[in-house]
């Protein structure tokens, strides 16, 4: 029986995955590297530095640690500019209602985002009060697909991992949830996230009724 729901942020609660993509594409194009939505799938859910490493591998580029830090900062500056222009209404439709229903049914809620900007995004959207626990990229050592972030969320929630359900839009996130011993709802197109236990286009389509029916 599910006792807690753990939500990823970017691409699950709000369309910020689009802003990460726009910023990475801008950087990749500056470096002369081809970068489309297809390549971007590999970056979803992983840390900023790991994302940059993947892009540099795609372009067969080797840079110094200093150069990499500068590029990662540049990407982040663009991303922060994009989210500062974001409206609170950019939260996906039905997300607040889903979180309210989860709480009303006595289940706990955690946020588990690899992003170091998660706090800013959550505050901009005004949804901080929905979460019993918030874990972000500043609190972990290993990025998804490592299970660390979900195990830490479960520990802080004081709920056994087998009683947690994860909502994820990233391959790396689905893998991390499974490695943590949790079931996972995959958010995305039908051809994506084939390993997820359940699949929907938007988080609210997997409602409290479905959550409660998991045995």
113 binds, among ligand BG6, Mg ion, none (CB under 5 to 8 A by kind): ligand BG6
- Alpha-carbon distance of 166 to 35, in angstroms, equals 29
Q: Please tell me which residue in 10, 15, 119, 146 is annotated as part of the active site.
A: 10
**Residue 169 falls in the annotated catalytic set:** no
Q: Are strands 133-135 and 198-200 parallel, antiparallel or unpaired?
A: unpaired
Coil, helix or strand for 38?
helix
DSSP code per residue over 105-141: TT-EEEEE-S-TTHHHHHHHHT-GGG-SEEE-TTS-S
Interface with ligand BG6 by CB under 6 A: which residues?
Answer: 9-10, 17, 20, 43-45, 47-48, 51, 76, 113-117, 137, 170
Coil, helix or strand for 10?
strand
4 binds, among Mg ion, ligand BG6, none (CB under 5 to 8 A by kind): none
Q: How far is the CB of 2 from Mg ion (least distance, A)?
A: 20
Interface with Mg ion by CB under 5 A: which residues?
Answer: 8, 10-11, 169-170
Q: Rounding to the nearest 10 degrees, give the CA dihedral for residues 186, 141, 92, 88.
A: 180
**Cβ contacts of residue 131 below 8 Å, gap of 6+?**
109, 110, 111, 122
**Residue 146 falls in the annotated catalytic set:** no
Residue 99 or 143 having the CB closest to ligand BG6: 143
Q: How far is the CB of 209 from Mg ion (least distance, A)?
A: 24
20 binds, among ligand BG6, Mg ion, none (CB under 5 to 8 A by kind): ligand BG6
Q: How far is the CB of 117 from ligand BG6 (least distance, A)?
A: 4
Q: How far is the CB of 8 from ligand BG6 (least distance, A)?
A: 7
**Cβ contacts of residue 25 below 8 Å, gap of 6+?**
35, 36, 40
Which positions are catalytic?
A: 8, 10
């Amino acid at each position: 029986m599910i006792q807690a729901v753990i939500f990823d942020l970017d691409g699950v609660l709000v369309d910020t995955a689009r802003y990460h993509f726009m910023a990475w594409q801008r950087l990749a194009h500056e470096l002369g590297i081809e970068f489309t939505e297809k390549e971007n799938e590999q970056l979803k859910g992983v840390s900023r530095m790991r994302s940059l490493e993947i892009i540099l591998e795609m372009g067969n580029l080797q840079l110094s640690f200093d150069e990499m830090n500068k590029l990662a900062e540049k990407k982040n500056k663009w991303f922060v500019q994009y989210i500062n222009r974001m409206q609170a209404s950019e939260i996906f439709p039905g997300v607040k209602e889903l979180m309210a229903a989860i709480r009303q049914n006595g289940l706990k809620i955690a946020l588990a985002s690899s992003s170091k900007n998660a706090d800013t995004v959550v505050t901009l959207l005004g949804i901080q009060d929905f979460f019993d626990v918030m874990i972000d990229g500043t609190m972990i050592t290993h990025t998804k697909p490592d299970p660390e972030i979900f195990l830490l969320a479960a520990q802080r929630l004081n709920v056994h991992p087998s009683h947690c359900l994860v909502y994820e839009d990233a391959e790396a996130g689905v893998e991390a949830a499974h490695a943590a011993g949790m079931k996972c709802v995959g958010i995305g197109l039908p051809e994506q996230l084939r390993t997820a236990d359940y699949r929907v286009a938007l988080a609210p389509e997997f409602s409290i009724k479905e959550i409660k029916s998991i045995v």
